[in-house]
A and B are shown apart, each in its own frame.
Chain A
Amino acid sequence: MKEIILTPKELPDVGLIAETITPDLFAGKSIGKIASLLIFAGNQRKKLGDFFEVAGKSADDASDTRIVIKGDITKVKMVGKGTKAGEIVIEGSAGMYVGEEMRGGKITVLGNVDSFAGQTMRGGELVIKGNAGDYLGAAYRGDWRGMRGGVILVEGNAGAETGLFMVGGKIKIKGNCGTFAGVHMKKGLIIIEGQTPERAGAEMTGGSIVVMGDTDILPTFAPVNEEKNPEIDGEKLKGTFQTYSGDHAERGAKGMLYKFV
């Protein structure tokens, strides 16, 4: 695998839109070409090289290209948007929309990410070592098909409306999760190892949500039974779980909520 190293210079307060930072666009390009890729700073059309030192070498193929970002890019939005192959490692925290519309490859963020990470993701792997903001793996505003495939792993906590309108894939959160996890979910799996205050699975019609920690279950969920070491979508869980079906505010809802007991 060949590596391109991006070292952030001073980043402007207005924030950057950097959807060009993806292995798919870097592959087969010289350092000079990469440094001249388009980045928006507010309404200004700028070059990637204006804000990042670019070093290393890219492979001809995206799947052999790894982008390493050395430092904090909290002010940078849309890194890795639509990534199909290859790898991105962010050695700090990242801004909004990391891995938005991702279809393949892997993005690892060592710090935290802002809201809308992995929005409408279809494939690949998004690993966040810190915390995630709101709308992790969610749908775009007004879309009724959110995350369709791939895996999101958060080692810290996640915010509200994680997996909104989820129709496939997996989201695992090692820490706690905000309200409305899996709201309107139709398919797929969300595992919350910590607690989630309330309203998990609100208006869900399918899919599964597992909560290991505390949570208040909506009155429109119905207890089903107790299951030992259940296997859901290929994930083997250890322990005894009280299962609930719902959300019965909806007609014919087939969502499942697993609460660790």
Chain B
Amino acid sequence: MQESLSKRCTVASDVVCPFCGTLCDDIEVDVKDNKITDVRHACRIGTAKFFSVLEEGRPTKPLIRKNGVMVETTVDTAVKKAAEILKKSIRPLLYGWSSTSCEAHAHGIAIAEEVGGVIDGTTSVCHGPSVLAIQDVGCPSCTLAEVKNRADLVIYWGCNPMHAHPRHLSRYTIYPRGYFRERGHQDRELIVIDVRKTDTAKIANKFIKVDYGRDYELLGAIRAAVNGNEINAEVVGGVTKEEIQKLAEKLKNCQFGVIFFGMGLTMTSAKHRNIDNAICLTKDLNRHTKFSIMPMRGHYNVTGFGEVLTWQTGYPYAVDFSTGYPRYNPGETSANDVLQRGEADAALIVASDPVAHFPRKSVEYLAKMPLIYIGPHHTPTSLLADVFIPSTFVGIETGGTAYRMDTVPLYAKKVVDGPKGVLSDEEILERIYKEIVRGK
């Protein structure tokens, strides 16, 4: 940090933004008296995240449910209670993880293994289908730096980065000048394929409107055209055969193409088969030119959880330790499936808010079981919790490793101290783990 005389505050530079999977690492944060006073370079949502540490009424004391009401307690008591719940449970669910550090993940996985639980990340309800497809057919991908320096054709399919990953286009894909793309966006072409004309589609060189739920057919038809096969329909998914053939030619003749895809592909109609077909299209295109594909991962460290879990267990999400060794099969061992079949009997939720985002049936089960919640905010999940241990913000009040959407790890810095007495997710989980194994 350096003193900025004009503002009489310290400036933290090259700060990593802990909000979305773009993981911008060029943020500047002004700090005065341990308070964030200004944030530069970040987009609107990133800036809001930094200022959210100042949120009024932020919980700083652990809470425990006694006779139906949450009462303040010490960290020690809360940790003990949490360990007790997890030890007693015969099918605990450990869920969340996308908005905390890899260091915290490691402790969480250790707990899951120790208590024979099911550990699952938010990937499960987000890019889980992408993972299934990648396991089925592979994934020719690249880093965002390669895109920045080389790509001359960028496709956003079923995603709207102008709103969800606001700096994605300016940092990596369209606007930056790259080594082989000296004129920036003039050297590149942007194609957006979506069911509606999004704000990203408005700035695209070409927008292709696909009928809702027909992405799979359109992908197949583009593949057929790329592979020199006949398409047996005049219109596929609302796009004419002629247009599909023209698009296939364009894809084959670029120098370095890349497809970015989002929930519009993973969570509609064919789900993981959409991704499967999109990956196979990328593979087919590599017979003609260089092409890559990448999921637009949402939360800033959702990728990191997959990485840590994979190097520890061999599987990226939905891992079941109940038999003593890791088992994996989304559909059986994924959070919503374990909940909706009524199997789980306790839950530890870290850095996510399933009560706000899960289907009602899952939430009903969550409400019935002892629930431990670790996170910096009050959320619908914290309201249902039996033990709530507030934590610091990773990347603002605590340092930690996070993985960008292209699986490049970056160290998210600490810029201010957290509220007094509030521990990081990492510390809290480590203490719960120690409490569980104590006396073993």
User: Does more than half of chain B's interface fall in helix, strand or loop, or is it mixed?
Assistant: loop
How many angstroms from the CA of A99 to the CA of B230 in the assembled complex? Answer: 40
Complex: how many Å from CA A44 to CA B217?
A: 46
Question: Are A220 and B273 closer than 8 Å at their CB atoms?
Answer: no
Q: How far is the CA of A43 from the CA of B332 in the complex (A)?
A: 15
Note all chain A residues with C-beta closer than 8 A to B184: none
- On whether the beta carbons of A134 and B331 are closer than 8 Å, the reply is yes
Contacting pair B284 A251 (CB below 8 A): yes
B-chain residues with CB within 8 Å of residue A141 when the two chains form the complex: 132, 135-136, 328-330
A80 CB, nearest partner CB in chain B, Å: 17
Instruction: Report 7 cross-chain contacts, Cβ distance below 8 Å, ordered by A residue.
Output: A43-B91, A43-B322, A43-B323, A115-B332, A141-B329, A202-B216, A223-B232
Task: Please determine whether B231 and A219 come into contact, CB atoms closer than 8 angstroms.
Answer: yes
Check: B195 CB closer than 8 A to any chain A CB: no
B270 is an interface residue with CB less than 8 A from chain A = yes
Q: Is A247 an interface residue (CB 8 A)?
A: yes
Task: State the 5 A-B residue pairs at the shortest beta-carbon distance, nearest first.
Answer: A43-B116, A142-B135, A42-B90, A219-B233, A42-B91
Other 17 A-B pairs with CB < 8 A, given A42-B343, A202-B220, A249-B219: A13-B345, A14-B90, A15-B341, A40-B322, A42-B90, A42-B345, A96-B332, A115-B331, A141-B329, A183-B273, A203-B276, A219-B217, A219-B232, A220-B231, A223-B232, A249-B224, A249-B229
B116-143 at interface with A (beta carbon < 8 Å): 116-117, 132, 135-136
A22-54 residues at the B interface, CB under 8 angstroms: 40-44
B residues contacting the other copy or chain, number (CB 8 A): 42
Chain A nearest Cβ from B386, distance in angstroms:
19
The answer to whether B223 and A43 touch across the interface, beta carbons within 8 angstroms, is: no
> CB-CB < 8 A to A220: which residues of B?
220-221, 223-224, 229, 231-232
Interface of A is mostly: loop
CA A238 to CA B216, docked complex, whole Å: 33
A249 pairs with B277, CB closer than 8 A: yes
At the interface, yes or no: A55 with Cβ under 8 Å from chain B?
no
A115 / chain B contacts, CB cutoff of 8 Å: 331-332
Residues of chain A within 8 A of B273, CB atoms compared: 180, 183, 199, 202-203
Query: Is B236 among interface residues, defined by CB-CB distance under 8 A?
Result: yes
* Chain B window 255-294, contacts with chain A (Cβ cutoff 8 Å), 1 for yes, 0 for no: 0000000000000001001001100100010000000000
Q: How far is the CA of A199 from the CA of B230 in the complex (A)?
A: 17
The residues of A with any CB-CB pair to B shorter than 8 Å are 13-15, 17, 40-44, 77, 96, 115-116, 134-135, 140-142, 144, 165, 179-180, 183-184, 199, 202-203, 218-223, 247-251
Q: Are A116 and B342 in contact, CB atoms less than 8 angstroms apart?
A: no
Q: Which residues of B contact A (CB under 8 A)?
A: 89-91, 115-117, 132, 135-136, 216-217, 219-221, 223-224, 227, 229-233, 236, 270, 273, 276-277, 280, 284, 321-323, 328-332, 341-345
Partner of B91, one of A14, A222, A223: A14
Q: Are A13 and B217 also in contact (CB < 8 A) when A220-B223, A220-B224 are?
A: no
Other-chain contact of A142, B136, B231, B277, B280 (Cβ < 8 Å): B136
Q: Is the CB of A221 within 8 A of B232?
A: yes
| A250 near B227: Cβ-Cβ < 8 Å | yes
- Given A42-B116, A203-B276, A248-B227, does the pair A218, B331 have CB atoms closer than 8 Å? no
